[in-house]
Structure 1
Amino acid sequence: MARSLRDRRGGARLRAVALIGIDGSGKTTQAHHLAEALTAAGRPATYHRNAGGRRWLGRVAQRLGRPDAERLVGRRGLLAVESVLRWLAIAAALLSCLVTGRTAVMDRYSACQYASIRAHGGQRWERLARAGYRLFPPPQVTFLLAVDPAEAYQRIERRGTDHETMGWLTAADTAYRTLPEFPSFVVVDAGRPPEEVSRQIRAHLAAWLPAQGAAPAEAAAPAAPPPAEPAPAAPTGTPGPVARPVDDAGRGPGLLVAGQA
């Protein structure tokens, strides 16, 4: 399958790969691992975190005595800030990719903003966001890291850097699965151990990597010399030369043909 995909893509350069999914699905971890793996495989890649600033706004809100970002700037304000900050981050990542020629590994992409808008119940704003994000080409591969919202909730609680409600995680999971782009996503089971998730991702991208050269042929063992040809036998009935011993004086007449002595 990898070979057929490679043939169909004609060796096209892998410009951008996106990893999307709900919070706690492991996007950041897998994006870092993927950038390292692509670079090690001869496809230089750079990690780009295309955050929308919701976590940062949440911290600001808590410092100001508000429970979350939405309570600080309102739902519309949050969606507007997210859309603008993520747009700027994606634009910078694509520009960097264009200038350096490296593959951009995107930790979040435009689909994350569409899902966020849907999860917040702001479908009207989705049309506006799509109009602004239409400038960006879709990544050649978009991985949706699918994980049960309950598992994602536990992961977020364990890392202890932020907090999400089960209601939000469930709504975000549904939003991703109802996007019109969903059929084009490569869905990865992110509930497995991180090493297995990384293997799934790399296995799919093997079709985009340079074809591995065939293993060098083993050095051929030197050919054995041909067997020495036996000396030709004397013709039948013809006596061969016979050595005649030398006499006491040390004289030897040389060879004496048998029958002539």
Structure 2
Amino acid sequence: MVGLPTGRIRRIALVGIDGVGKTTQARLLADALTAAGLPAHYRRNAGGRRWLDRLAVRLGRPDARRLVGRNGLMFCEALLRWLAIARSVLRSSGGVAVMDRYAVCQYVSIRRHGAAASWERLARLAYRIFPRPDLTFLLWLPPAEARRRIEARGTDSESLEHLVRSAAAYRSLPESADFVVIDARGSAAQVAARLRQHLVDRLPADPGGVCRTTQRGTVRAGRRWRGWTVALPGGRLGR
């Protein structure tokens, strides 16, 4: 586990195509940070497409796109995600907000659906009021494996073509250069450990790291990066 003794990092976003485990890993990371001594809160920022698809089926249509059209779907998704992120940001007054999806997910959705470039420009204009995450993890999984996971959970469905388009859209975003890519293959516990390990390994050592004591034990010398420190709970990470 990792802890963050300073309050400089406030938002961590987990993004990726459907089926990679964003929700599971965001919850696990929030729990791990809290257990290590820093309160963290899980925040979900969905665009509501699953809910819209269910509504469409109830109204006799196969999916939301067939119900409201591509432009209608883009508008509904963008609005619902904007409201979700606004709520998450307003509620994130202390500790770390672990964001399950963020603004870039909307840009990917727009590109995946092949909407006009004006849609993305409008979305970026609307979403620019939100602060950028201090750290964005992109969970990576081959689209075919992601589709198998979606089918296994049985709550929704997604075509392989759309997953492939989503993966390409993430790579094409201008923000992609700042993403930290995490291999999402394996069990949830393995991916969670990989994510936490990467969080620490990518930081340069800080010989001036501090120690402090929490109810969970002693947090020993940390690593500093961009003004904040990641401290390692004594004996837990084996470094």
Regarding TM over 0.5, the answer is yes
Give the structure 1 partner of residue 38 of structure 2. 43
Aligned runs of 1:128-139 on 2, under 5 Å?
128-139=122-133
- Higher RCO (C-alpha under 8 Å, 6+ residues apart): 2
> CA distance change for structure 1 residues 213 and 121 in 2, over 3 Å: closer, same or farther?
closer
Q: Tell me which amino acid in the other structure corresponds to 1:50.
A: N
Query: In structure 2, which of residues 140, 161, 168 is the aligned counterpart of residue 174 of structure 1?
Result: 168
Distance 1:34 1:95 in 2: 20
Deviation at 1:102, TM superposition (A): 2.2
Give the structure 1 partner of residue 47 of structure 2. 52
1:198 aligns to 2:192 (yes or no): yes
Deviation at 1:57, TM superposition (A): 0.3
Give the structure 1 partner of residue 64 of structure 2. 69
Note if contact 1:188-1:201 (Cα within 8 Å) is conserved in structure 2: yes
Deviation at 1:137, TM superposition (A): 1.1
Count of residues in Structure 1 that have an aligned counterpart in Structure 2: 206
Larger radius of gyration: 1
Listed one character per residue, the Cα deviations across residues 130-182 of structure 1 (whole Å, up to 9, x for unaligned) are 00111111111100001111001100000000011111111111101110000
Q: TM-score, normalised by structure 2?
A: 0.81
Q: TM-score, normalised by structure 1?
A: 0.75
Aligned runs of 1:153-164 on 2, under 5 Å?
153-164=147-158
Aligned runs of 1:181-192 on 2, under 5 Å?
181-192=175-186
Deviation at 1:86, TM superposition (A): 0.6
Listed one character per residue, the Cα deviations across residues 31-84 of structure 1 (whole Å, up to 9, x for unaligned) are 110010010011101111101010000001111111111011111111111111
Q: Tell me which amino acid in the other structure corresponds to 1:146.
A: W
Query: In structure 1, which of residues 135, 145, 148 is the aligned counterpart of residue 142 of structure 2?
Result: 148
CA RMSD of aligned residues (A): 2.0
Secondary structure of the structure 2 residue equivalent to 1:211: strand
Distance 1:200 1:176 in 2: 21
Query: In structure 2, which of residues 68, 75, 81 is the aligned counterpart of residue 86 of structure 1?
Result: 81
Give the structure 1 partner of residue 104 of structure 2. 111
Secondary structure of the structure 1 residue equivalent to 2:9: coil
| Structure 2: runs of 5+ lacking an equivalent | 201-222
Note if contact 2:7-2:95 (Cα within 8 Å) is conserved in structure 1: no
| Structure 1: runs of 5+ lacking an equivalent | 216-261
Q: Tell me which amino acid in the other structure corresponds to 1:57.
A: L
Listed one character per residue, the Cα deviations across residues 220-246 of structure 1 (whole Å, up to 9, x for unaligned) are xxxxxxxxxxxxxxxxxxxxxxxxxxx
Identity in percent: 58
> CA distance change for structure 1 residues 11 and 59 in 2, over 3 Å: closer, same or farther?
same
